[in-house]
Amino acid sequence: MEIGKWFWGRVRQAAPQKRQAYFVVALFLIALLIRYLVFLFYFDAKIPFGADSDDYIGFGSSLALGDLSLPEYLVRGGYANTILYPLFLAAHYRVFGFSQSPVIVTQVVLSSCIVVMVFLMALETIGKKGAYLAALIAAAYFYEIQWAFYILTETLSLFLITLTFYLFVK
């Protein structure tokens, strides 16, 4: 409790620029906390797998092991599926080993960064009150939160799209 009083006391005393920086940090931490609670209580602390998870994990594992051949699921459909997400997985597998947990942790961090970018974009475009509302909605939007726990492209894609918009707005 003392840490909270100290933190928010510092926020109130800080200059407006610093206050915003403190709020951004607090927003990021709150978004992380919400995602952690969803993981514990909704997913029962188990990593869920989506329909395409096996394909992405297989391709990412192959890339991590140095096999650069295209997997069957890319060839059979006659279309080019995403390559960025298997590269993202391969990088994790090379650094952390063949575990899904580091991937999930990274996706949860990316998902929390999306909340911060939504706040900063809204601050630039619609003002303070709208930015707070947008951040609240983004932090608590369940369908965006849940995708962070699946080994699927959604979180990385949404992060990159949000980052692109943020860079244009900034």
CA dist., res. 53 & res. 124, Å (int): 37
Per-residue pLDDT of the chain (170 residues; tens, 9 = 90+): 566 666 556 556 655 677 788 888 999 999 999 999 988 888 776 777 777 888 888 888 989 999 887 777 666 654 456 788 999 999 999 999 999 899 999 999 999 999 999 999 999 999 989 999 999 999 999 988 999 999 989 999 999 999 999 999 87
> Do residues 135 and 122 make contact, with C-beta atoms less than 8 angstroms apart?
yes
C-alpha to C-alpha distances, 49 to 59, 80, 145, nearest whole angstrom: 15, 22, 15
pTM passes above 0.75: yes
Return the structure tokens found at 116.
């911060």
